[in-house]
Amino acid sequence: MREGQVDSGMWQGTLLLGGVVLGCQMSSEEQQAGVISQVLRGFRVCGLDATQFSDRMLIEDYIRKNTSAAVNVLMASPTFYFFFAKIHGQSLVVSSIRAITGTLRIVPFMGLFYGFFALVSPFVTSAFMARGQSYQDAQTNAGIAVMLSGLAAIEALVELRGCGVTFGQMAPSAFLIFIPALIGRLATGVLTQQQKVGTTETVSLLPPSWEHGPAWQQRTYLLFDQLALDREFLITCAGTTVFQHVLNSITWVLLTRGKTSTFVDIARFCFGGLGGTPLSGVRQFGKTFVMRLGFSWVWNWCTTQQFPMPAFDSALKTCS
């Protein structure tokens, strides 16, 4: 249980996730739609203008999108925590167990992260629109603004707790490096995947002519489409690898040294890896790239899937 990081945080996440799933299974679509209507009324009570944001916009662009984003990242998280454990010397069995326990441990934080995003983003978008920005520009800028606010701290806790770092091991000084690196990864990862939720058109990595080219080109194009090997996958993978290597270094040092960790310890692991040599550092960076490659592909694939959410469909039927 110790090697698999089976702890109280895992059980708390299990109970919360189980409660949410059970509640969704036992309630009717009408009851779930009623909860969504209550959230919409809350937006209006807080002053969100109905002429600026229709109920349909609030559901599709904020509530449903962030709910889907939360589901997608939870589905992809076992891949992340499996690779993190594996590239840091754990066995296949231990890595597989940590893939599950790490994912369960982040459930409360993910709920807070995407719930905050869904509830606050419309108001921030409205503020940008009041400055003369179009809805699309304001929505994009609002996503960046909210991400750079307190959500970065929540995401930091998500990453560290998922990898097994306890609150007692978290050195405050480490966050001086962790938060900036995390913001860089969030900008190329979370924002990219969140904006993709709900879209049906993707930009393939292959030339458009391959879709109607010779048979082998058509099959290759179809395979890339089915595997979701598109532009967003490339951005998520390539744009986050360097940041992830820094984050992995900090996380590993905190796991092994706790609050006694120093910047020198982090730099030593970042450039020297597990072996403490430049070659080992290069190998560790290569392992991080493989980690991001696997996780980014699973995450991007999950985002391309259109999972049914009948409660939102019921709520949308009453919208104009």
- Furthest C-alpha separation in the chain: 63
Alpha helices in 202-230 (DSSP H): 215-226
58-76 pLDDT, tens digit per residue, is 999 999 989 998 998 899 9
Q: Does residue 320 or residue 183 have the better pLDDT?
A: 183
Q: What is the mean pLDDT of residues 292-314?
A: 83
238-274 pLDDT, tens digit per residue, is 767 888 899 999 999 999 999 888 899 999 999 998 8
Q: What is the mean pLDDT of residues 199-209?
A: 75
Q: What is the mean pLDDT of residues 152-167?
A: 86
Q: How far is the C-alpha of 303 from the C-alpha of 297, rounded, in Å?
A: 10
Please, which pLDDT band fits residue 95 given cuts at 50, 70 and 90? Answer: very high
Please, which pLDDT band fits residue 52 given cuts at 50, 70 and 90? Answer: confident
Quote the pLDDT of residue 19. Answer: 94
4-31 pLDDT, tens digit per residue, is 999 999 999 999 999 999 998 898 888 8
Please, which pLDDT band fits residue 280 given cuts at 50, 70 and 90? Answer: very high
Q: How far is the C-alpha of 72 from the C-alpha of 297, rounded, in Å?
A: 12
Cα–Cα separations (whole angstroms), residue 62 to 160, 162, 285: 27, 26, 36
Quote the pLDDT of residue 192. Answer: 65
Break the chain into its structural domains and give their ranges. 30-317
Quote the pLDDT of residue 125. Answer: 94
